Structure 1
C-alpha cells in the first residue's frame, strides 16, 4: 500500500474554512496544508484523472505512472505499455454550501461525439456515472419526479405551466391522466417538449415567472412540494435570481439523504447537489453538460438530446448497504455500474483483534475519515503468493491509501473508533493520453454557446422516440440499464 498526496478544489460553492470537511480532512492528511478561513473548500479528489492527479507521497511520482510501472499493472490491465495507466474511477469527498449547477453527464457514445465536436468544453471522451454517500444530511435534486407529481405541480403553479408552454403542458397532463405508461416514449416526448420550451424562454420572461412562482408559494400553493423543497426554491431565488433553474424542484425529485444513505444515478439523469457533505464515486471523467444555476458554459442542444426523460420515484435511486458476511466491518454499496463500487469500513469498538479487509483482485483507494489504527499488509511474492512477511504502518484520519491488486490487509490494532471508505473497480481505466489535434484544442472557448435549443434537436429526439414505444429513449450501455 502507498500513501497518496491528493488535490483539493476550491470551487465557489464549497464550504469555507474549517466548516468544510474537505478542508479539515485534507489538512489532517497533508500537514503542510493551511486552511484559510475565507476560502471555499469544495472537493477532495482521489484518483488519477489529469485534472487532479494523485501522487505517491514518498516519491511524488504520479499514481498513474506508478501503476503503469508496477507488477500489478499486467494483472490489472493486461497492458503495461502505456506511460500512464488510469483507474476507472475518481473518489471524492465534497462539502457543499451552495447549489451546484443543474447538469447531466453524457453516455460513452455521447461523450465521444461531444469531445470530437467541442474538446474545449468537453475535455473527456468518457462517461461519468455518479454515486453519493451521505456523510451528513445531504440534499440533492435527482431525476424527473413521478408523472403524477409533475402534473400536480403544473396544476398548482400556473407559472410553471406558462414557463413550459400552456399547450405543451396540457398535452403532458392529458396523456398522463389518460393512463398512459409514464415510461412510454409518448409520455417522454411530451415531457421533452415541455423541458425544451422552458430553456428557450427569454430571461426577462423567466424573471416574471419566478416572481409569480414565489407569489404563489406565499399564497400557500404547494402542489406536491414539502416545506423543505419550498425552502430550496426560496434559497435558489436568492443565490440565482431570475434563473430558470429555480423551477427545477417542481419537476425533479428533491432527495434528503441521512448519514449512511447512498444514491446512484447514471448518465442521462438531470441532477443538482444542494447542500451537505458526501463521499462521491464517479467515472474517471470531467464531462458535464450544464442546464442552469451557473455562470459557466451552457449547451442546451446537447443537454436536451442527452436526457432520458425518465419519470421515477426517488427511492429508485437509493443504493442499500450490504454487510459482507465474511468481513463484518465492511458494508458494500454496489450500484449497477462497472466503473466503481464502494466499501464503508467501520470498527466501532476499540479492539486489538485483527480485522481483515476483503482481498480484491483490482486496485483500490481508501481514505480514513475517523480514528487511528495500525494496518498489517501481507507482501505478495513474484507469482502472487503470500511470503509471510508483514508490513505494518499507522493510519489515521486524513490518510489516503492506494492498495494494489490482491493485497491482504487487516487492521491489527484500533485504539479508537475507525471509519474509512474504499473505492474499487475491475474495469480498465480510460486512456487520457489520447489528445485532440492542436488545431481543435486551440479553438475559442466561446465557439459553441447555445442559449436556445434548436428545433432540429427536438425533431431528432421525436424521431428517436417514434421508432418504437418500448420506453427506452436512447440506447444506453449495459452497465447503466435498469439501475433502479
Structure 2
C-alpha cells in the first residue's frame, strides 16, 4: 500500500474553506478547487517506496502490468484509466460538455494534424479519450445537469418578463424538442455579447427577485442559482444558456453521472469526483475561455434529460460496500461507512484502487499485517493483486476499474 501525496489545484472558482475544512487545516485565503488522486500527467500523485517520492504515472510507466494487472492493461492500455478528485466549488464552473470516445479520437487526430499546440487556448481536444464523470456530494451541492423539456425552459424564461428573450421562449415551444434546444442554444452563443450583456443583467435581477418573492415556487432555487451565476459572470450568455438546463441540488451521499454530450455545470459545494483520465472539455458559457460553437453543437446531445440522481446500493461484492452504479468501465466508485465494532472489510484486490477517507479514520492493513491509517482527505494507492482490509470509524470511498 502507498500513501498518496496529492496536489491541490488553485483554480479561481475553488472554495477558500471547503478543502481546508475537510483536512483540518487553516485556510490560506486562496481558492483550493481540486485535490487530484491518480496518475494524470497534469498533477500526478506521488508515492514513496523507500527511494523518495515518485510520480504515480512514472511508477506505472515503469511496470504497467505489475501495477495495474493484465486485465486493466489489456482493456485500457498501460495507464490508470481513472482520476479521482475532491472538488470544492465556491463559484460556478463553466457550463460544459464532454465528447464520446469516437468524437475525442477524431477531434484529437484532427487538431494534431493541423499542428495546434497542446496548450493552445483554442484547442478542444487535449487527448484522444472521453471523459464520463460522476460527482458524489459530501454536503449540499448545487449544479446544472441535462436539458429541461423545452416547454419548461420556455416557462422559466417567460416568467422573467424580459422582452428580448421572448423570441427564444416562443421558439422553444414551436419546434420539435431537439431542434428547439439546438437553435436556441446556438442563438444564445452566437448573439452579439455587447448587445446581450444588459439583457443578461436584467434577466438575473428578475431571477433574483422571483427567488426572493416566491421562495416556495417550483423554480425558486433555480432562479436563485442563475442569479448567483450572474454575480460571478456579469453579462455572460451562459446565464441564459443555463436556463435551458435542469437545476439540481444534491444532498450528502447523492451523486450524478454525466455521460458524453450532456451539458452540465457545478455551482457550489464539496464532493468526490471520479472520471475517465481525460482533459477534453467543450464550454458553453460562464467562462472567459474559448468557446467553439460549431464543435460544441456537434458534440451536445440535444434531448431533454432528467438529472438522474444516483444513490448507492449494495452490489454482489464485499459486505458493507455501497456502489454508485454508473454505465462505464473506466471507473467504479463505492463507499464504505466503517463500523469500529465490526470485523475488518476485505477490499477486492483484482484491480488497482485508490482508497480515500472523507470522515473519521480508516486503517488499511496489508496481507503481511502492515497498517496504514488515513484521516479525512488522505488517500492510498493499492496496486492490482494487493490484499488489504479496511477498519475503523471512518467513511471511505474506493475507486477502481470495472473489468
Question: In the TM superposition, what is the alpha-carbon distance from 1:146 to its structure 2 partner?
Answer: 2.3
Is 1:319 the counterpart of 2:317? The answer is: no
Question: In the TM superposition, what is the alpha-carbon distance from 1:418 to its structure 2 partner?
Answer: 0.6
Match of residue 55, structure 1, among 46, 51, 55: 46
Question: In the TM superposition, what is the alpha-carbon distance from 1:96 to its structure 2 partner?
Answer: 1.0
Question: In the TM superposition, what is the alpha-carbon distance from 1:171 to its structure 2 partner?
Answer: 4.3
Question: In the TM superposition, what is the alpha-carbon distance from 1:74 to its structure 2 partner?
Answer: 4.8
Q: Distance in 1 between the 2:92 and 2:373 partners?
A: 37
The answer (yes or no) to whether the contact 2:171–2:184 under 8 Å persists in 1 is: no
The answer (yes or no) to whether the contact 2:84–2:275 under 8 Å persists in 1 is: yes
The answer (yes or no) to whether the contact 1:76–1:363 under 8 Å persists in 2 is: no
Q: Secondary structure at the match of 2:154?
A: helix
Is 1:208 the counterpart of 2:198? The answer is: yes
Q: Distance in 1 between the 2:374 and 2:160 partners?
A: 54
Alignment match, 2:15: 15
Question: In the TM superposition, what is the alpha-carbon distance from 1:225 to its structure 2 partner?
Answer: 5.4
Question: In the TM superposition, what is the alpha-carbon distance from 1:6 to its structure 2 partner?
Answer: 1.6
Alignment match, 2:383: 404
Q: Distance in 2 between the 1:303 and 1:369 partners?
A: 35
Is 1:243 the counterpart of 2:236? The answer is: yes
Distance 1:214 1:60, change over 3 A: closer
Alignment match, 1:308: 301
Is 1:188 the counterpart of 2:178? The answer is: yes
Query: How many equivalent residue pairs?
Result: 385
Q: Secondary structure at the match of 1:297?
A: coil
When the two chains are superposed, the root-mean-square deviation of aligned CA atoms in Å is: 2.7
Is 1:156 the counterpart of 2:170? The answer is: no
Alignment match, 1:376: 365
Q: Distance in 2 between the 1:232 and 1:325 partners?
A: 39
Question: In the TM superposition, what is the alpha-carbon distance from 1:328 to its structure 2 partner?
Answer: 3.5
| 1:382-404 deviation digits (Å, cap 9, x = unpaired) | xxxxxxx4433333333311112
Question: In the TM superposition, what is the alpha-carbon distance from 1:350 to its structure 2 partner?
Answer: 2.9
Q: Distance in 2 between the 1:327 and 1:73 partners?
A: 21
Is 1:265 the counterpart of 2:252? The answer is: no
| 1:380-432 deviation digits (Å, cap 9, x = unpaired) | xxxxxxxxx443333333331111223332235x3xx21111111146xxxxx
Show the 5 A alignment for 1:37-186.
37-58=28-49, 59-68=52-61, 69=63, 71-78=66-73, 85-115=78-108, 116-117=110-111, 118=116, 119=118, 120=120, 121=123, 122-159=125-162, 162-163=164-165, 166=167, 169-175=169-175, 186=176
Show the 5 A alignment for 1:377-392.
377-378=366-367, 389-392=368-371
Distance 1:219 1:131, change over 3 A: closer
Length-normalised TM-score, structure 2: 0.87
Alignment match, 2:350: 361
Q: Distance in 2 between the 1:187 and 1:127 partners?
A: 26
Q: Distance in 2 between the 1:277 and 1:97 partners?
A: 9
Is 1:344 the counterpart of 2:335? The answer is: yes
Distance 1:74 1:262, change over 3 A: closer
Distance 1:395 1:215, change over 3 A: closer
The answer (yes or no) to whether the contact 2:158–2:169 under 8 Å persists in 1 is: no
Q: Distance in 1 between the 2:126 and 2:265 partners?
A: 21
Q: Distance in 2 between the 1:341 and 1:143 partners?
A: 22
**Of 188-197 and 401-410, the range deviating more from structure 2:** 401-410
Q: Distance in 1 between the 2:91 and 2:208 partners?
A: 23
Length-normalised TM-score, structure 1: 0.73
The answer (yes or no) to whether the contact 1:237–1:246 under 8 Å persists in 2 is: yes
Q: Which runs of 5+ in 1 are unaligned?
A: 29-33, 176-185, 379-388, 428-484
The answer (yes or no) to whether the contact 1:354–1:410 under 8 Å persists in 2 is: no
Work out which of the two has the higher radius of gyration on C-alpha atoms and give 1 or 2.
1
Q: Distance in 2 between the 1:66 and 1:345 partners?
A: 28
Question: In the TM superposition, what is the alpha-carbon distance from 1:321 to its structure 2 partner?
Answer: 0.8
Q: Distance in 2 between the 1:343 and 1:231 partners?
A: 32
Distance 1:214 1:24, change over 3 A: closer
The answer (yes or no) to whether the contact 1:229–1:249 under 8 Å persists in 2 is: no
